[in-house]
Each structure stands twice: as structure tokens, then as C-alpha cells.
Structure 1
Amino acid sequence: MKDYPELDPINDLPEFVPEEKTPKKAEKSSKKKPKKHFFVLKVFVGLLIFTAIFGSLFSYKVLSVSKDVFVGFEGKKASVFDQLKRLILPDNKELKGQAEGRTNILLIGMGGEGHSGAMLTDTIMVASIKYDKETDQKKIALISIPRDLYVPAEDNRNHKINSLFSIGERKGENQGAITLSKSVSQVTGLPIHYFVRVDFEGFRKVVDSLGGIDVEVERSFIDEQYPTYDFGYQTVSFDKGIQTMDGEKSLQFSRSRHGIVTDEDGGFEGSDFARAARQQRVLEAVKKKAFSVETAVNPKTINELVNVLGDHVRTSIEPWEVMIMLDIARNMESGSTINKVIDNGKSGLLYSSSRGGAYVLLPRVDDFSQIQDMSENVFEVGESEEDVSIFILNGSETDGLANEAASTLKTQEYKINGFGNALTKDYENTVIYTSGDKGKRIVDALQKKFQAKLDTSGQDFSKISRNTVPEDTNIVIVLGDSAQGKLQSLEIEEK
């Protein structure tokens, strides 16, 4: 057995270094890291707390303002607590009308305090949102109703539609919007789910808060009869092209109704209808600027907009519903809105007349059925403006039928790129040929108008026509003997 040297139990023991303390440099390093991480964590938590406090204060301000802005269709005001509860935990995540496929909002613009005819509506417009459940896509259409349209009212008398708000307000606060909504629904055949009312001052301040808007002026014009704030007149003018406008200039552009076009190409700007079209372009410009990054990251702008809403806007849209609508509008492509003005032009649905010495507009037929049909199908008609080209062929023995149909459909804003004769003249019924899925809604509308058969087999258009069919044609209509009777009912709009 091997001998080992004796060890002093105290002094000769080998040094033992615990693993957790080896090496000492690691000890310093391990202490620094938690301190650094803890500092970052404190900053992060601090930012969260600041954001939460700022967000809560801002949200409370928004909700406090919305207590005045939101009035409901029955004039009932919701408490801040109720609106906050609905904003966080809404009972229904859908807007009114969404389940049926369409939501309609009445937009009301009026002079307000300090303006002549303060309670007369200067702008009456329906903003309609259509939902496609299959694709989850949304479309928006704006339908402008002229203020001189002569309509029946609840007092069993007829009035200009722009006076109904004032008549309704005599019955009680916020009754004006209810009265006007009922009339607009009667005219268009559309249920009105919500309303938004803004006065001139509010509109001007919204545009100024946004830092101005860029609006396309289609033609240069001058208006020497634009009203001043002291009930006189002034001259305003606008140059063709993209113009940056402040609140006052955009209000003048939206309200001018005595414009004289100064372009060589001509045109017309001196009517309520031209004004309605300009108002729709201004709304598009406001939407574009409101959803820009420049606006989204500017708390001062947002704060100013909230203040303007509280002072000048009233609506039946609740805050949680506003959030859904903002999301829809934000995701809409610029320029995708379908715009329609109900007018008395050659292809319009109205005609000018007088009642009691006053200028009024009346429907070309004895009721509002044509306006209702247009309002119901505005998205289908609107799609015809998206390069869906239609060529019409006469497949009957009746001369001039294709020309007649082309003229009629043009007045209804369909894009007709030509007409001619079918290869044969033995079509009893009208047949619609398509070259793909483009224009499906238009095909459906045309099929209904002509009670036509549909051929989606991809027929070569050149083999059914005596004439050259343009390459950009998407739809070919071959008119049969039955088309003549259908055209007679469609031609009412050409009176």
C-alpha cells in the first residue's frame, strides 16, 4: 500500500472554488446584463403606461364629444359609459343593412348659423356601401339628389326636398333628419340606415384642419354671383387641373351654382347638378387626405378634427360603427367610388317645371320608379364605367333596332363601342354573349332588361356578326324579335 504524506487539516487543504463563482469576471458580467435588461423593461413599461394614459384621455375626449355628435334617429343620446361599452364590446359586429348586403347613409350639408336659409339643406347625398359576401369586397357609391326635387311630405302637401329638414325640425330637435330620411328613402327606394349632418363652418374647418385638400377641377370657370357672408355677392374662379384648396376655397368650389366655363372646350358648371358632381370630388379629396400617413401621425390634426366634430356634426352613427366605416373607407382604392347625380339632362331622370311660380324638378314618369331602379342598380351601372365594352347586333327583321338600343343604353351610362347586324336575322329572343367573367353584374342587369338568354361558351364574336367587332369588346348583345317591346319600356328615359 502506498504511503501518502500527512496533510495539515487546516493549512494543507487544496483550495476549492465553487462553480457559481468561477471565474470572478463572469460575476461582474452576469450582474450587468440584468441591470441593462431591467432598464429597457422600465422604459418599455413607461412608454406603455404613457400611451395608455394618453390613449385613455384621448378616447375619453372622443367619447365625450361623441355624446353630443351622436343623436340617434329618435333623438336619443347615449352616455359616455354606454358608448365606451359598445365600442369595446359591441353586441353586433355588423353595420345596419350589412346582413342584407347594403348599408345606406344619408349625408346632409346645410348653411347653419349665420347663413341665409340656415335650415335648408344645400347637399343631399346617399353614400351606399355594398358588400360582396363571396369575395368579402366592398364598394361605395354616392348618389346626389337635387335640392329642387319636388316631393310629397307628411303634411300631405308637396315641397322642395331641401325644405323638409326645416319642416321636420319644427316638430322637435333632430326630427329634421328623420323627416328628410323618410323622403329620400321614398324617392330612391333604399332604406336609410344612418345620417350625418354637417354645416358649412364645420366643413370649412375640417378641410383647414387637414391642411387643405387637392381637388381636380375638370374645367376652368368663373362665378360672379357667389354669396358672401353679409348676404351680398362676390366673384370666385377656378382653374382647370389639380388645385390645392383651403377650407374656404373648397366650400366655394362645392357651393358655386352660377359658374361660366372659360375653357375653349366648353362645358357647363352653372347648375345644381354640376355642383353635386363637384361635391362628390371634394368628398373624395377629403377622404384621401384624412387617411393619409401625414394625418394619421399628427395628433394636433386629429385633436382639431375631434373638436370640429363636436361643434358642427350630428349623426346617428355610433362610435363603434364609425370604426367599421373608417376601416372600409381606408381600404377603398382612390377613385373607386361610383358617383351618380340625378339630373334633368338629356339622359336624366328628371325634367324642369314650376309649381306656384317656383322652379322645381319632377320625375320624367309619374312616380320615382326610374330613380329607384337606378339607385338599386347603381353599382351595376357604375361598373359599366370600368372599361366593360358592349357591342350590339340586330338579329331581327326590324331595321334600326341595334342603333335604337345603343342610343337607349348610352343614356343609361353603359359603354357602347358600336353596333351593326348579326350574321343571321332569325333570332326570336335576345341573346347576350360574354367573353369572360368581366362585367358579370352588367350582364345580369342587361339580361333582366331584355329578358335575354345568356351564352357563356366563349363564342367567337366575329362568327356571329356581319360587322367587325372591336377587340376590346366584353359583351355582345344580339337583339331578337322580342327586343322591340323591351326597348319601348326602356326609351321612357329618353323623353
Structure 2
Amino acid sequence: MARSFDRNSYGSRRDAGDSSRPSVQPEKVASPGPRRRKDAAAAGSAAPAEFASPVIPAVPGGANAGGNPNNPYARSSYTHDYARDRKRRKRKKILIACLAVVLVAVLGTTAYALTKMMSIQGNLSSGVTQETLDALDNVEPGDPFYMLLLGTDKSQERESGAVLDGVYRADSIMLLRIDPPQKKVTAISLMRDTMVDMGEYGKQKLNAAYPIGGAAYTVEVVSELAGVPIAHYAEIDFDGFCEVVDTIGGIEVEVPIEIDDPDAGGHLEAGLQTLNGEQALILSRSRHAFDEYGKGDEYRAANQRMVISAIAGKVLDSDLSTMVSTVETLSKYVTTDMSLMEILSLASSMRGMDMATDFYSCVNPTTSEYIDGVWWEIMDEDEWHEMLRRVEQGLPPVEEDVIDEATGTVMATAGTGGSASASSDGTTTPRRSGTVSVRNGTEIDGAGAAAAEKIGALGYSVDAANADAADYAETVVIYEDASQQERAQEIVDALGVGRAVLNNNEYLFTTDFLVVIGADWSSVQ
């Protein structure tokens, strides 16, 4: 008779209740306030209270223009010796000229190609203001640069207080460092509730910068928060994810848990799967499905980085025709200062990038605090500065991957996710994805949890519970298909006990592997 092993939840869950929150520390602020926008006086803004309301009135205008000598990130603040980089610029011109020729070949006749290229370019640059251009930094062609990625959801009905006279807050704020020579990208999600001192506007949540002064002011605020100049920006309507993902034929990702979130748009099963556009959007939006585990926004940001990585990886692996189609689709939902040729040139230079080892990710380090009836995220300044120091040097922002034990969500990557993890003897084991059920078949307390921790270190999503009996003599790792034998043996090696067994229909389980702990587990204690 087959033994049935039903899946149960595993892993400690962080209490989301108010009682577990840290004490109020209103004196802690993310960074010194950004400079006042030069049109603030004309707007007649009054100085706010110590903690301004998280919902602030929309203010016309944007960030400081490039002519402001006090703005170190304004375009006009930088001068360059263009002669010094003449050869590099010549190479870029040759590349762009080649791309233009290839585009004509891909799109057909010259007249049609030019019309199509102008249409795409018009879509991309529509809505880009001069104030935003002035807030951006110049970058030498081919050099690493920072880019601000803003995600909005303008086509959806917004939460109460999120819309002010047609001005939206940014749902997602992400700082990217793109290094074309090394083919590496670092993506840092910035918690939208991060407390920032915005000068005359008082202490505000980071996403309030958008309704205050649009993309231009958000560029300025993030520049000062991170202490880096931002060279490019893109503003994306996340609804565009649907069409983009469908254009490239879907994306393969590991959905960490089952998602049943009506606010996000529906339901997703857990596990490795290929998502269509609608499903990718559900994963990118969902936060309430994770509320019982911790900060819903932090989990959502991690999943958004995973989706972006999957999209980028598939686009970079595609041919030019598919790449152009994808950019054309994106142009309907993206506003950016980058030209079509700059985008294609960048994509060309990043081809061959290994998303598993060369895409780093993290979230800014914060602590939640409840102040005057409002939840804030307070920056851990020391950790933040160390993170940025590593990023500026081209290193991963964290020393090793951070995987949430309760859900299996990849919260930060250091270039080893999907690659390898080091063992105590100095050898490396590939980091895996998939699911494992652990069942304790002994009277040894905590054996299942200890085994789950060892297996989770390999990258698997693990659940643990008791077996149907407590008299198992031997630890076994059961797999369903001969192709899984090597991975089953890796699990045995990680446990330090047991053997891999091909299922002969004796065991019933729905995960990729089943581990039953036997009495021999005592030898590894």
C-alpha cells in the first residue's frame, strides 16, 4: 500500500502584529534632505510639521534644473574632456550606424523602417520633461551607470489617498547599476515607505517624491538618498508587463508560495513554471499573500526583481527581430530618456550576460516603526552605506544569497543563486530550485526541522512535518524519475546520512523529492 505524504507548511513566520514592532525613534532619518526645488517659493509651500502627512498635496513642477550650481547631479554640473574618449565615441557611432542598417533590414523598406523607428522613439520619449533631463547625469559611453526604474499602475483604481489631481505615487522604486563592460547588473529595490527628509516638505515617505515633483524630483531624491548620480530613468506602467511577457513567449520563474490574492489579480500555484503575462503581473503585484510572513512590500519587491531578471534574460537571448518587437511593445508602456538606438546598443553590449551569476539584487535595509499612526521604514544607515560601497566597487550588494526560510523567496542575490554554494570542504554544489517534503519518521525531536534547514541551504523550498510512523530505521531521499538521481544524491550528501531511492510506487508525494528521516539520523547529531 502506498504511503501518502501530504504537504504541510514549514518555517517560522514573523508576527505582523503591532506589538512586535520596534519602539518609535523619530530622530532617525534616511538622509539629509534634498535641495529645494527652485520653483518652491513660487508655489508658496509652507513648512510642514515635523512629521508631515504621508499623503501630501501634489505640487506642480519638478526637480532642480540643470542650471542650478548647487545641484551636483545636474547635467550642466559636469564637464568632460570629449577628446579623451574620441575613440570610444567613434566605436559607439559605428555600432549605432550598424544597428540602424540592421533595423532597416529587419523592418523592411527604408521608409517603413524609419517610420516605425520614429513611432517607437516617440512613444519612449513621450512625457519626458526638460526638468527630468536636467536632473540626470552625463555618462561616458560604455562606462557603468546608475538608472532609476519607477513602476506605476496608472490604469488601475488606486488605493485611498494615492491619487492627487491625477498624480500617482510610484508603486515600485528600483535603483539599477548597469555595468556593460563586465556584463553585470545590480538591482536595489527601495522600500516605498522609507522615511526621507525632503527639506521644506518635511519627513516624507520615499514614494511621495513622485506626486511632489514627478520623475525629476524623484531622480533628485534617490540620487541624494544613495549618494550616486543617476544617468538614465525609465517609468513603467506594470500593466505593460502582460503584453511584454506574452510577446517573448512567457518567462520561467520559481513562484515561492501559492498566491491567492484578489488585490493582485488572482491565483498562482507555487513552484517552477512558465508564466504568461497575466500571471507575471499577479506575481509582480502580490503583497498581501505574504503579509503573514513579514513585510508584504519586501516580498513583492523581491518577486518584481525576479520577474525583471527573467524578462531581461530572455530578451538578451533573443534575436534582433524579437528584441525590436519587445522594445516596440515596451514603448507603449515605458517613458524613458533613452533613445531606441541607445536601448538596442545597450542590449547588444549586454548579450551573453549570465543572469544567475551576474544579476545582483537586494532591498534597502530598513526597520519598521509606527509613528503618529503611520507605518514608516527607517533606514539602517551603516548597513546602507556598506551596501552602496560594495555596489560602487562592482561587487554584489550582499556577501551571499538571502533566502527567506518560511517561503523560499530569494530576498537578495550575490551571484550564486542558481549557480553554486560552497560546502565545508571547499567544494561547490549547484544551487537548486524546486520543492522537498521532509517527514520525521523517528522520535528524535527537531530532526525534521534540522534536515529541512540543511536542504534549504541548497536552494530548495522545504516543508517539514511528522511521518505516518516513528519507526523508520533508515533515512531515505525518494525521487520519481531516474533523471533526478544526481540531485537526490546531493540531498543525501547535504544531510550526511541516508541513501537515494527511486520510488517504486510505495510513496505518494506531490513535491519534487520526499525525505523520510530514520533512526540513523542520530549519527549526525
TM-score range, shorter chain: 0.5 to 0.7
- 1:357 corresponds to: 373
Shift in Å at residue 195 of structure 1? 0.5
Shift in Å at residue 257 of structure 1? 0.7
Say whether the 8 Å CA contact 1:250–1:282 is kept in structure 2: yes
Number of aligned residue pairs: 297
TM-score (norm 1): 0.52
CA distance in 2 between counterparts of 1:281 and 1:153 reads: 31
CA distance in 1 between counterparts of 2:224 and 2:151 reads: 20
Say which SS state the counterpart of residue 267 (structure 2) adopts: strand
Relative to 1, partners in 2 of residues 1:52 and 1:324: Cα closer, same or farther, differing over 3 Å?
closer
Say whether the 8 Å CA contact 1:146–1:273 is kept in structure 2: yes
Q: Which amino acid aligns with 2:226?
A: T
- 1:314 corresponds to: 335
- 1:63 corresponds to: 118
Q: CA RMSD in A?
A: 3.8
- 2:388 corresponds to: 375
Matched, 1:125 2:174: yes
- 2:406 corresponds to: none
Shift in Å at residue 382 of structure 1? 4.9
Relative to 1, partners in 2 of residues 1:369 and 1:99: Cα closer, same or farther, differing over 3 Å?
farther
Say which SS state the counterpart of residue 97 (structure 1) adopts: coil
Say which SS state the counterpart of residue 105 (structure 1) adopts: strand
Say whether the 8 Å CA contact 2:123–2:335 is kept in structure 1: yes
CA distance in 2 between counterparts of 1:53 and 1:373 reads: 51
Shift in Å at residue 338 of structure 1? 3.6
- 1:254 corresponds to: 284
CA distance in 2 between counterparts of 1:383 and 1:373 reads: 9
Relative to 1, partners in 2 of residues 1:226 and 1:238: Cα closer, same or farther, differing over 3 Å?
farther
- 1:239 corresponds to: 270
Gaps of 5+ in 2: 1-102, 402-413, 425-525
Residues 220-272 of structure 1, C-alpha deviation per residue, up to 9 Å, x if partnerless? 233445345xxxxxx5233122x1111111011011112259xxxxx947621
Say whether the 8 Å CA contact 1:351–1:361 is kept in structure 2: yes
Matched, 1:226 2:263: yes
- 1:207 corresponds to: 245
Residues 340-395 of structure 1, C-alpha deviation per residue, up to 9 Å, x if partnerless? 3225xxxxx3111123311110023xxx4542331231332458449xxxxxxxxx
Relative to 1, partners in 2 of residues 1:72 and 1:260: Cα closer, same or farther, differing over 3 Å?
closer
- 1:137 corresponds to: 182
- 1:44 corresponds to: none
Say which SS state the counterpart of residue 124 (structure 1) adopts: strand
Task: Report which of the two structures shows the higher radius of gyration computed on alpha carbons.
Answer: 1
Shift in Å at residue 101 of structure 1? 4.9
Greater RCO (CA < 8 Å, at least 6 residues apart)? 2
Matched, 1:340 2:361: yes
Say which SS state the counterpart of residue 347 (structure 2) adopts: helix
CA distance in 1 between counterparts of 2:178 and 2:195 reads: 27
CA distance in 2 between counterparts of 1:100 and 1:285 reads: 24
- 1:115 corresponds to: 157
Say whether the 8 Å CA contact 1:187–1:371 is kept in structure 2: no
Shift in Å at residue 73 of structure 1? 5.8
Shift in Å at residue 314 of structure 1? 0.3
CA distance in 2 between counterparts of 1:357 and 1:209 reads: 44
Shift in Å at residue 321 of structure 1? 2.1
Shift in Å at residue 317 of structure 1? 1.3
CA distance in 2 between counterparts of 1:374 and 1:51 reads: 43
Relative to 1, partners in 2 of residues 1:205 and 1:313: Cα closer, same or farther, differing over 3 Å?
same
Q: Which amino acid aligns with 1:57?
A: Y
Residues 443-468 of structure 1, C-alpha deviation per residue, up to 9 Å, x if partnerless? xxxxxxxxxxxxxxxxxxxxxxxxxx
Relative to 1, partners in 2 of residues 1:96 and 1:238: Cα closer, same or farther, differing over 3 Å?
farther
Shift in Å at residue 285 of structure 1? 1.1
Q: Which amino acid aligns with 1:64?
A: S
